[in-house]
Structure 1
Amino acid sequence: MKVNILGAPVDRVDMEGALHFVEKAITENKPKHIITLNAEIIYQAQSETELMEIINQADLVTPDGAGVVWASKELGNPVPERVTGIDLLQEIAKKANATGWRLFFFGAAPGVAAEAAEKLKESYSNINIVGTHHGFIKTQADEDQLLQQISEAKPHILLVALGAPRQEYWIKKHKEKLGIPVNIGVGGSFDVISGRIDRAPKWMQKVQLEWLYRLIKEPTRFKRMLALPKFMGLVKKSTKKS
């Protein structure tokens, strides 16, 4: 089941359901695109047709963010819980440690993906991270080399940390050519896992105030955060129409 939020279909899925989807995709061995969607990207997609098309064409769209959870309740079709990019990545790492799934980390600043991989290896001794690469791709030659590296590594899961929606555009462009079963955009997850950026305390995550913690830590996010009240206004307006 899905909930339609301003034209963006969000799966009413919990973490267990998302992991089941990942497992099934690996078994089927056909490229799938998972988007962890927040209110900011839904709002951006209102004026960006191609982005909305990518969201609609994704194979799984999880509710990432307090705004999406709120909107689903407001629309009378609540999602069971948040399934964020970083939480999904961490659960995949735990599962991969037991199953042997091959992971590839692409994105973030030079060194960060490799640091995140090393941190996970400290927690999961059997995890198989078959490659890492930073997100600073400047030329076509750089991209060709990256694609070759990913193809040769043959991962089951490609985790792309370029920030939304850039990572969604990148996955859409290369998904079929690479043929990787699971492709997921994970935003700033590598920065957090590597230890370069602190995540909000657990209590703030539980009461869905992680956005506030990030704003306090990164005041430059203020302009981006203005999308949230605009998003809420559009959702309110859509409920009146229906």
Structure 2
Amino acid sequence: MRVKILGAWVDALKMEEAEEQIAGFVRSGRPHQVVTLNPEILYRVQQEPELLDLINHAHLVTADGTGVVWACRVAGQPIPERVTGIDLMLRLVARSAKEGWRIFLLGGEPGVAQEASRRLQQRYPRLLIAGAYHGYFSNTGNSSSHSEVEVIEMIRSSHSQLLFAGMGAPRQDQFIARNLNHLHVHVAMGVGGSFDVVAGRVARAPAWMQRMRVEWLGRLLKEPCRIKRVLVLPKFVWLVIRHSLSNR
């Protein structure tokens, strides 16, 4: 089931249900885009209709953040739980090792995807990692980086079933939407800064913060540069409340 919040469709799924739906996407052999939607992007789409259109054309949209779950509840369309990009990615990595699916990691600073790949391979010896490349490529490329066309060919020739793109939203989602039919993967999913966590570059918030649904606060304490993103939250809260009141 899907619900609509602030114009965007969100799938009302539990974590295990999202995993199973993506497994079905992989088995289908057809290309699918998965968007992990957070409050910042949900706020941003109010001013960017092209981004809203991208989200509403995705094959699966998860609530990546307590704010999205809360917004759905306030709107009278509750969803079961948040389905974060990093947790869903890790479940799919474990599933890939079991099923023999090939994966590709794209994103992060130079070296981060490779380190994340190495650590995942240690954790899951049977995992088939077909490639890993950083997210600092451009349309044309340069002496130290491939162009977008070359990156697409890299993914395409890897024969991967799953692509995890960790380039931050909305860039990762725009890259996927623009190139989905050329990547030759069955599932392409945006995972934000997940590679930094897996690679050990950034420590994830403590378990108690995750349980209390204040993981964003832990990220802010470790990365003060995120303050501009966090300042969107009060605006998002007001937007949700105003929208809810206007629809009564």
Instruction: Give me the TM-score of the superposition, normalised by structure 1.
Output: 0.97
SS in 1 for 2:202: coil
Q: Deviations over 1:133-161 (max 9, x none)?
A: 11111342522221111111010000001
Alpha-carbon distance in 1 for matches of 2:86, 2:79: 18
Aligned residue in 2 for 1:128: 128
For the residue of structure 2 that corresponds to 1:76, the secondary structure is: coil
Q: Does 1:119 align with 2:124?
A: no
1:173 is aligned to 2:151: no
- Partners of 2:152 and 2:182 within 8 A in 1: no
What's the counterpart of residue 218 of structure 1? 223
1:136-151 counterparts in 2 under 5 A? 136-141=136-141, 142-151=147-156
| CA distance in structure 2 between the aligned counterparts of 1:150 and 1:183, rounded to whole angstroms | 11
SS of the residue aligned with 1:198? Answer: coil
Task: Quote the residue 1:227 is aligned against.
Answer: 232
Aligned to 2:243: 238
Of 164, 169, 187, 1:159 maps to 164
Question: Is the Cα contact below 8 Å between 2:103 and 2:130 reproduced in 1?
Answer: yes
Q: 2:144 maps to what in 1? A: none
Name 1:109's counterpart in structure 2.
109
2:166 & 2:38 partners in 1: Cα distance? 15
Instruction: Kindly report structure 1 stretches of 4+ aligned residues shifted beyond 3 Å.
Output: none
Structure 1: unaligned runs, 5 residues or longer: none
Q: Matched residues in 1 for 2:184 and 2:118: separation? A: 26
Q: Give the aligned residue type for 1:191.
A: D
Instruction: Report sequence identity in percent.
Output: 45
Cα deviation for residue 223 of structure 1 reads 1.4
| TM-score with structure 2 setting the length | 0.95
Q: 1:211-230 deviations in whole A, cap 9, x for unaligned?
A: 11111111121111111111
1:195 aligns with 2:200: yes
Quote the Cα distance in structure 2 between the aligned partners of 1:192 and 1:14: 23
Aligned partner of 2:209 among 204, 214, 225: 204
